[in-house]
Amino acid sequence: MQDVQISKETAMRVYLDYNATTPVDPAVLEAMLPFLGENFGNAGSVHTPGQRARAAVDAARESVAALIGAKSSEIVFTSGGTEADNLALFGAVAASSKQRKHVITTAIEHHAILHSCDELVRQGIDVTVVPVSRAAGSQGVVDPEEIRRALRPETVLISVMHANNELGTIQPIEEIARIAAEAGVCFHSDAVQSAGKVPLDVNVLGVNLLSISAHKFCGPKGVGALYVRTGTKVAPRFFGGHAERDRRPGTENVPGIVGLGKAAELARKLLPEDAPRIRALRDRLESSLLERIPSAQVNGDRARRVPNTTNMSFPGAGGEALLIALDLQGIACSTGAACSSGSTEPSHVLLAAGLSHDDARSSLRFSLGRPTTAADIDQALAVIPGVVERIRALSPRDQQSAAAVPAR
């Protein structure tokens, strides 16, 4: 039998795409395994195996509620952030008794929001998409007054993400919540990219609805939650049984929910040490790349953002060519949202934040996570500047095949 040869590049691979997804923490996997095996009961059953599953779901609900400062009764489990966003938007609009309905959102939302809004428009609902700042130093942050100006008597919902998935910018949710409350309008926030990265308290934020997803903070894929403040009306989008207080019928994904609960518990416990450590690594990566790569720039507000994310432009180097060349050198990052990979269009987020088409196409997102080490950053810094220099040396026509050019 031949020995398996492991390349140096594979052995030293560095993952810097934690905003796309994260590895399942070993403690999360350990918590899930019994519910994929001997504890296989349906949480809706009244017998002992079912009640064992129900107890695990209830414990997970308490853990998720504790992560965001909510009551356990306000947590609705979903299949992930996209379903949570859809339930929030379509559920809140459908629950409104107003004859004419209007929704407000922003130009930098995730497609789970923007495409849902497109569908609302097709259903005859008016939607206003407000801009974000394009000014240096505050790029990618919405002005609460823009939300106020967009309000109408028929407005039934405002949806503004907490942290942007591409830039990492944190939005002024508390100020927007006050505006929404004064107008008597339901307020939703997509917190998929902030849960587990920064402290969250729904009562401080003032939101009515908030979405999270387990796989963004070392939990399993395919499970998330929607926080629904007590008294907020949300009409179901699915119909069947009475699970999740009639808001999300169907047999509960017990292993996934248990995994989400354990991931929430770990995030709450480890956040005080994770956040400053990851921020320091992110800042070192960012500042070193700015020093070593001429005309490199950071996109978005550098003060108001989650600690793990930097989005950088490297003018003169195509982002897709950079992505492929870096991947071949063992560095995994992204050009934007994972759900938009393969698109030839520049990021709608970067364009909304004021970048030119060329700068948007030359941008990469580096996102760090709990497993990221100083050695990872050292390796990234040893590779990235040379790759950028090599790509820049090629003509735009040649950049598509840049990955085939041997590294220096």
DSSP calls for 305-344: B-TTEEEEE-TTS-HHHHHHHHHHTTEE-BSS-GGGTT--
Does residue 302 sit in the same domain as residue 260?
A: no
Does residue 212 sit in the same domain as residue 86?
A: yes
pLDDT higher than 80, residue 2 = no
Query: 40 lies in a domain?
Result: yes
Give tens-digit pLDDT for 206-243.
999 999 999 999 999 999 999 999 999 999 988 887 77
Does residue 231 sit in the same domain as residue 357?
A: no
Query: 262 lies in a domain?
Result: yes
Does residue 333 sit in the same domain as residue 213?
A: no
Does residue 210 sit in the same domain as residue 345?
A: no
pLDDT of residue 103: 98
Does residue 307 sit in the same domain as residue 213?
A: no
Query: 72 lies in a domain?
Result: yes
Query: Could you give the number of structural domains in the chain?
Result: 2
Query: 1 lies in a domain?
Result: no
CB 168 within 8 Å of CB 309: yes
Give tens-digit pLDDT for 250-299.
889 999 999 999 999 999 999 999 999 999 999 999 999 999 999 999 99
pLDDT of residue 237: 87
Query: 124 lies in a domain?
Result: yes
pLDDT of residue 240: 81
**pTM summary value:** 0.92
CATH number at residue 44: 3.40.640.10
Q: Which of 381, 287, 292 is nearest to 333 (CA)?
A: 381
pLDDT higher than 80, residue 186 = yes
Does residue 229 sit in the same domain as residue 253?
A: yes
Q: Single out the residue in 216, 235, 267 at which a domain terminates.
A: 267
Q: Single out the residue in 267, 292, 308 at which a domain terminates.
A: 267
Does residue 165 sit in the same domain as residue 216?
A: yes
Does residue 349 sit in the same domain as residue 237?
A: no
Does residue 346 sit in the same domain as residue 390?
A: yes
Confidence of residue 343 (pLDDT cuts 50, 70, 90): low
Average pLDDT, the chain: 92
Query: 3 lies in a domain?
Result: no
Question: What H or E segment, with its residue span, contains residue 102?
Answer: strand 102-106
Give tens-digit pLDDT for 125-173.
999 999 999 998 889 999 999 999 999 999 999 999 999 999 999 999 9
Q: Single out the residue in 250, 267, 284 at which a domain terminates.
A: 267
Give tens-digit pLDDT for 10-27.
457 999 999 999 999 999
Give tens-digit pLDDT for 48-105.
999 999 999 999 999 999 999 999 999 999 999 999 999 999 999 999 999 999 999 9
Q: Which domain holds residue 160?
A: 26-267
Does residue 259 sit in the same domain as residue 293?
A: no
CB atoms within 10 A of CB 136: 9
CB atoms within 10 A of CB 393: 13
Query: 94 lies in a domain?
Result: yes
Query: 2 lies in a domain?
Result: no
CB atoms within 10 A of CB 128: 18
Does residue 251 sit in the same domain as residue 155?
A: yes
Q: Report, as residue numbers or ranges, the catalytic residues.
A: 339
Confidence of residue 338 (pLDDT cuts 50, 70, 90): low
